[in-house]
Amino acid sequence: MTDESLEETRLVEALKALADENRLRIMRALCRTGCCSCEQVSADADGMCSCDVEKLTGLAQSTVSHHMELLRRAGLVKAHKLGKWTYYRRNDAAVRELGGLLRRALPES
């Protein structure tokens, strides 16, 4: 596989992951600080626990898990366990890379 086709594959996977209004809302919320209600997370930390994502979206736990797994597989979020909850943070480096991939795939004329 060439570098160009690898870039296209990463771009398509990331765009598929973002092609849902709930996932876009989640991605916007993950960069805000102070949104996590878990005591194990600093009040000024960015990111959210899965319970907070459920409250934000009004979606069931299983649906939130599905959305977060798609975002995680696309590399757009990072996840780690905090007791019974999973804490999610936006992968800002991957978001910046996505912008570069999109600019290269669709150059200005």
Residue 108, SS3?
A: coil
Domains of the chain, first to last: 3-105 (1.10.10.10)
Q: What is the pLDDT of residues 51-103, one digit of tens each?
A: 889 999 999 999 999 999 999 999 999 998 878 888 899 999 999 999 999 99
Q: How confident is the model at residue 5 (pLDDT cuts 50, 70, 90)?
A: confident
**Residue 58 confidence (pLDDT):** 96
Give the global pTM: 0.86
Q: What is the pLDDT of residues 23-58, one digit of tens each?
A: 999 999 998 766 666 666 666 667 888 888 999 999
**Residue 43 confidence (pLDDT):** 62
Q: How confident is the model at residue 7 (pLDDT cuts 50, 70, 90)?
A: confident
The residues near 61 (Cβ < 8 Å, ≥ 6 apart) are: 50, 54
Closest to 101 (Cα-Cα) out of 5, 6, 7: 7
Residue 26, SS3?
A: helix
Instruction: Give the whole-angstrom CA distance, residue 109 versus residue 104.
Output: 12
